Chain A
Amino acid sequence: MVTPRQAAAAVVDPELRVLTIEELGILRDVRVDGERVTVTITPTYTGCPAMDVIRADVQQAVRAAGYSDVAVETVFAPAWTTDWISDAGRAKLAAAGIAPPHRAGPVRLSLTVRCPRCGSPDTEQLSRFGSTACKALWRCRACAEPFDHVKAL
């Protein structure tokens, strides 16, 4: 039998499709109160357009596990940081060619981002913003591959 927690935790992030919302660190709580399941999530960025899809996916997943009364709540505090991405999540990002963020919050100095393909530290930032709100665009000087990097936040 799948618990509500397991069902919600298995939902895949629609914009980082190699991660579950639990690995991304945006699943904050799953509460069961009688028949009612309340799932609490938090956005990565305030304007994250994926939140509606995530809410719908969580609803569907928990219902499919046999719980018909599901509420999804959104909280903003404490604010999500990239430090909440689990180690398993970081490994999955790197394996998918997306450079994971540094630990320890935003740093204004430029730290080297390793190429997720060849591992070279000889990389450069092409754009401080990328395909989604949480990513920046980088390129590896060694193997010449462009890649996404999840910005430290």
Chain B
Amino acid sequence: MNGVDRLLRLGDDALIAAQRLAEWHASSPEMEEDVALANIALDQLGAARLFLTYAGESLGKDEDALAYLRDDREFRNCLLVELPNGDFAVTMAKLLFLSAYQLPLYTALAARPDERLAAIAAKARKESAYHLDHGSQWTIRLGDGTEESHRRMQDAVDQIWPYTHELTAGEVSRTDWLANVEPVLDEATLARPADDGWAPDGGRSGVHTEHLSCLLAEMQVVHRAYPGARW
């Protein structure tokens, strides 16, 4: 994997996660959560802009060209971030699993010799720690809550789990990722799914689910209809 590929993976994970989270805006279960998810989306968007700007310098493109003018096969994000939000439990499972991956990844990148990448990662890792904390608290609250919330949180974990294998197929080991996730599932009284099941992948090579196409259509339509338009 060369430097540009890594930057595109990092930037696309963050960008698509931000776009998905923003869909909750004004429709979260409570007003405080509206603010929380919008803030997390903003953190992801901030990181995405820095990674994509950096990647674009090698490709002769700016951040907008990378975000708005690439087609689905050119995106390098993991499948997990493009999956639909589902119910609130699914969104929290996605948040927990993604931040449990981004935190050790950014921590490792912060020590790399590429100073610019290291600086962005060192900044973003603090934000990831807060996201992990938020996802953990909700997973515990729902898992160790009512019969209904427990059932839905377990369903969410089971549904998203297969997509976590793609996260740990690269620079973050399964062991490091599980170290962030297993204690949370334990405290939430949730069963940890087995690791020998279906393990979809393809996001890193541009082979995505149909969900990404729909997300991109909404995210890119204005920019493509009115090239060069500014607020």
Interface set of A (CB-CB < 8 Å, partner B): 43, 45-49, 75-80, 106, 108, 126-131, 133, 137, 151, 153
A76 near B46 with CB under 8 A, answer no
**In whole Å, how far is B107's beta carbon from the nearest beta carbon of chain A?**
13
- A sample of 29 cross-chain residue pairs with beta-carbon separation below 8 angstroms, ordered by A number, consists of A43-B123, A45-B42, A45-B127, A46-B47, A46-B120, A46-B127, A47-B47, A49-B42, A76-B50, A76-B120, A76-B122, A76-B123, A78-B122, A80-B123, A106-B129, A106-B130, A127-B32, A127-B33, A128-B36, A128-B130, A128-B134, A129-B32, A129-B35, A129-B36, A129-B38, A129-B40, A133-B39, A133-B43, A151-B130
Query: Please, what's the 1-or-0 string for B40-58, where 1 marks a CB less than 8 Å from any CB in chain A?
Result: 1011111101100000000
A79 and B123 contact, Cβ closer than 8 Å, known pairs A46-B50, A126-B32, A128-B36 = yes
Report A-chain residues with C-beta under 8 Å of the C-beta of B47: 46-47
A46 near B43 with CB under 8 A, answer yes
Give the B interface residue count (CB, 8 A): 29
**In whole Å, how far is B51's beta carbon from the nearest beta carbon of chain A?**
10
Report B-chain residues with C-beta under 8 Å of the C-beta of A131: 35
In the assembled complex, the Cα of A80 lies from the Cα of B123 at a distance in Å of: 8
A76 near B119 with CB under 8 A, answer yes
A127 near B36 with CB under 8 A, answer yes
In the assembled complex, the Cα of A108 lies from the Cα of B134 at a distance in Å of: 11
B118 at the interface (CB under 8 A from A): yes
Question: Which residue on A lies nearest to B47, using beta carbons?
Answer: A46
A153 and B122 contact, Cβ closer than 8 Å, known pairs A47-B45, A47-B46, A48-B46 = no
B115 at the interface (CB under 8 A from A): yes
Among A45, A77, A80, A153, contact of B46 (Cβ-Cβ < 8 Å): A45
In the assembled complex, the Cα of A65 lies from the Cα of B39 at a distance in Å of: 36
Chain B binding surface, main DSSP class: helix
**In whole Å, how far is A82's beta carbon from the nearest beta carbon of chain B?**
10
Closest 9 CB pairs of A and B: A47-B46, A46-B46, A127-B32, A77-B119, A47-B42, A76-B119, A129-B36, A129-B39, A79-B123
Report A-chain residues with C-beta under 8 Å of the C-beta of B122: 76-79
Question: Which residue on A lies nearest to B37, using beta carbons?
Answer: A129
B133 at the interface (CB under 8 A from A): yes
B211 at the interface (CB under 8 A from A): no
Report A-chain residues with C-beta under 8 Å of the C-beta of B44: 47
B124 at the interface (CB under 8 A from A): yes
Among B35, B49, B133, contact of A127 (Cβ-Cβ < 8 Å): B35
Q: Which residues of B (5-37) have their CB < 8 Å from a CB of A?
A: 32-33, 35-36
B174 at the interface (CB under 8 A from A): no
Report A-chain residues with C-beta under 8 Å of the C-beta of B43: 45-47, 133
B133 near A108 with CB under 8 A, answer yes
In the assembled complex, the Cα of A16 lies from the Cα of B154 at a distance in Å of: 41
B70 at the interface (CB under 8 A from A): no
Q: Which residues of B (120-149) have their CB < 8 Å from a CB of A?
A: 120, 122-124, 126-127, 129-130, 133-134, 137
Question: Which residue on A lies nearest to B129, using beta carbons?
Answer: A106
**In whole Å, how far is B61's beta carbon from the nearest beta carbon of chain A?**
20
Q: A128-B134, A129-B38 given. 9 additional CB < 8 A pairs?
A: A45-B42, A46-B49, A46-B124, A47-B43, A79-B126, A106-B126, A130-B35, A133-B43, A137-B35
